[in-house]
Amino acid sequence: MTATLATTSAVVSPAPDSPLRRVARNFFKDRVALLSLVVIVGFFAVAIGAGILTLTNLPMPMQPNATNLERKLLPPNSTNWLGTDNLGRDVLSRMVAGSTISLTVGFVAMAVSLSIGIVIGAISGYLGGWVDNVLMRIVDALLCFPSFFLILTAIALLGPNIWIIIVVIGLVSWTGTARLVRAEFLTLRESEYVRAARAMGQSSPKIIFRHIMPNAFAPIFVTAVISIPDAILVESGLSFLSFGVPPPQATWGNIIADGKTYILDAWWLIVFPGFAIFAASLAFYLAGDALRRASETRPK
């Protein structure tokens, strides 16, 4: 009797459909998402290529730091596609070299801030109580400082080294992630499947990382993507103020900083690196936004 009854409840279900796959499918249906992804991949290809060339000392078409005072401040031409700066250095080569810096800063700083933010947010949201109170007051205190000046201070004290800059950017920008993760955890902690997992005898770390985290993954991933351009912009800003990566190493920010003196005579020194910053940031923001939209419809 039970067997015959059971057949009635057997439904025809489609092929297994993981939430991750569904987000990917939605994402790839989105034209803006695809375009931004192409731009991001393009920047990556250039940055990684340049990184490899630099690290392996392979011959480059043009050295980013090679000066040639006879060919200074040339507008875009057939040899120097994006012109040269006041020391005769090729702007395109410098921008390519700078892309490695910018993307490294963006990604590593994101990784640093994400790891801190996830851990603090997860602990705060899952445990609640006084732990939550203490951690969130620390976050509030950090948010009171204008983070850019915090970074400037730290770099003034520690010296402008690219890794120090990256870590410092990461260290001051985790607060938003922490708050977001905490909010997600506060909601998910009360969910029935977390209660069911506790009733199964799961330990707290396992519940946090295996049961709650994947469900909070979408918003966390979106903030991660969006925090990349934030870090890139901060680094460009620092370089512009010459607190960034020390010269002669080229970054998008310090190409603009060097070029600002010649802004009326040599527009290409400002426009091209400025456009690179703009395009990279916009691509990441749009990709993050598209990801958010793609992950919005959750299964029942």
Partner 1 sequence: MKPNLLELHDLSIRFRTENGTVDAVKHVSLSMREGDSLAIVGESGSGKSVTALSLTRLLPTPPAEFASGRIMFEGKDVLKMSAKEIRAVRGGGIAYVFQEPATSLNPVFTIRSQIAEGIRLHRPDVKNVDEEIVTWLGTVGIIDPAKRMLDYPHQLSGGMQQRAMIAMALSCRPKLLVADEPTTALDVTIQAQILAELRRLRTEFGMSLILITHNFGIIRGLCDRVAVMFRGEIVEYGDTASILKDPQHPYTRALISCVPRLGAKRERLQTIDYGWLAKA
Site of interaction with partner 1 (CB under 8 A): 1-3, 5-11, 13-14, 16-19, 191-193, 195-203, 210-211, 214-215, 217, 298-300
Cβ contacts of residue 67 below 8 Å, gap of 6+? 87, 88, 89
Structure tokens at 29: 């249906």
Structure tokens at 79: 């040899």
Nearest to 89 by CA among 66, 122, 121: 66
- Taking the complex as a whole, the smallest distance from the CB of residue 219 to partner 1 amounts, in Å, to 14
Please identify, using beta-carbon distances, which residue of 215 and 242 lies nearer to partner 1. Answer: 215
Structure tokens at 21: 């796959």
Tokens 């040639």 belong to 68
- Taking the complex as a whole, the smallest distance from the CB of residue 21 to partner 1 amounts, in Å, to 10
- Taking the complex as a whole, the smallest distance from the CB of residue 3 to partner 1 amounts, in Å, to 7
Cβ atoms 34, 28 nearer than 8 A: yes
- Taking the complex as a whole, the smallest distance from the CB of residue 5 to partner 1 amounts, in Å, to 5
Peptide bond into 273 cis (omega under 30): no
Please identify, using beta-carbon distances, which residue of 77 and 203 lies nearer to partner 1. Answer: 203
Across the strands, what pairs with 84? Answer: 90
- Taking the complex as a whole, the smallest distance from the CB of residue 6 to partner 1 amounts, in Å, to 4
- Taking the complex as a whole, the smallest distance from the CB of residue 122 to partner 1 amounts, in Å, to 16
CA–CA separation, 194 and 206 (whole Å): 11
Please identify, using beta-carbon distances, which residue of 31 and 300 lies nearer to partner 1. Answer: 300
- Taking the complex as a whole, the smallest distance from the CB of residue 204 to partner 1 amounts, in Å, to 9
Please identify, using beta-carbon distances, which residue of 115 and 203 lies nearer to partner 1. Answer: 203
Please identify, using beta-carbon distances, which residue of 5 and 69 lies nearer to partner 1. Answer: 5
Nearest to 100 by CA among 164, 169, 168, 53: 53
Please identify, using beta-carbon distances, which residue of 217 and 262 lies nearer to partner 1. Answer: 217
Please identify, using beta-carbon distances, which residue of 3 and 157 lies nearer to partner 1. Answer: 3
Structure tokens at 229: 């351009």
For helices 19-29 and 268-294, angle between their N-to-C axes, nearest 10 degrees:
130
Angle among Cα 282, 285, 290 to the nearest 5 degrees reads 120
102-to-60, 76, 136, 204, 251 alpha-carbon distances in Å: 20, 23, 31, 38, 7
- Taking the complex as a whole, the smallest distance from the CB of residue 13 to partner 1 amounts, in Å, to 4
CA–CA separation, 53 and 255 (whole Å): 20
Please identify, using beta-carbon distances, which residue of 217 and 243 lies nearer to partner 1. Answer: 217
Structure tokens at 50: 């340049």
